[in-house]
Structure 1
Amino acid sequence: MYDFLVGFMLVLSIFIIIVVAMQPTKTQSASNAFLGGASQLFGKQKARGFEAVLIKTTIVCIALFFILALAITRFF
Structure 2
Amino acid sequence: MDILRTILTVIFILISLFLAVVILMQEGKSAGLGAISGAADTYWGKNKGRSMEGILVKLTRAAVILFLVLAVVLNLGIWS
TM over 0.5: yes
Considering only aligned residues, what root-mean-square deviation do their CA atoms show, in Å? 2.1
TM-score, normalised to structure 2, is 0.69
The count of residues paired between Structure 1 and Structure 2 equals 66
Q: d(CA) in 2 for partners of 1:68 and 1:54? A: 21
Any stretches of 5+ residues in structure 1 without a counterpart? 33-37
How much identity, in percent, do the aligned residues show?
A: 27
Where structure 2 has 5 or more consecutive residues not aligned to the other structure, the ranges are none
* Pair member with larger Rg: 2
Please name the residue that 1:54 is paired with. 56
Q: Which residue of 2 aligns with 1:10?
A: 13
- State the alpha-carbon separation in 2 of the partners of residues 19 and 9 from structure 1: 15
TM-score where L is the length of structure 1: 0.72
Matched residue, 2:26 = 23
